[in-house]
Structure 1
Amino acid sequence: MEHGSAEDDSASTFSFTDEDHTLANTLRFSLNQDPRVTFCGYSIPHPSQPRVNIRVQTTGDPANEILKDSCQDLLMICQHARKTFEQVVQDFKNKQALEAMNMEQ
């Protein structure tokens, strides 16, 4: 990841290699939910290159800190989704096993 100049920390462009719309659009959405963000958008410079540029402009806080916060938020959301999914799968398996035992009786 690279980012823009250090002159104004409240606006930076971050370049992610080996990424595409999946991460970029998710980060864009998450960043735009943050009240400290005044603008966030992304671009893919060329379709044959696995690179995305994410532009973040803030109300004054350092853009890199807000990007880190957004990444942390996304990590927590993914962990919650995974935990919820695993619980639903386990509940389904338990229900199937209970129904199988009831059918045997």
Structure 2
Amino acid sequence: MAAQLMARWTGSNEAAWEALLPLFKGTAANLQATQNPAAVLTGPIARGDVSTVAKHLVALPAAVIPAYCSLGLATTSLALANGTIDEKAADELRNLLGGYYG
């Protein structure tokens, strides 16, 4: 799914994979080093950046929004447990993601 979305901007699946592979490798290496998924979270949900998440929901194709919201809700719980966001940010993210998904 990530490569398909990235290909919309890179122009090809090959370029999308070239752009995404370092991100995937870095995430896997960080996870292997810590063995704690919450500790390696990055991105707007891990930062509590509700505005960026809202922009993503507007920009994404309708077919991927349920997956984005489902994964986003799970990430929100991890970020809250990890302490990278507070309860207020978690509530805002849950309301936003649940509004699109639920």
Whether TM exceeds 0.5 here: the answer is no
More strand by share: 1
For Structure 1 versus Structure 2, the TM-score category normalised by the shorter chain is under 0.3
Question: Normalization by structure 2: what TM-score?
Answer: 0.27
Question: Normalization by structure 1: what TM-score?
Answer: 0.26
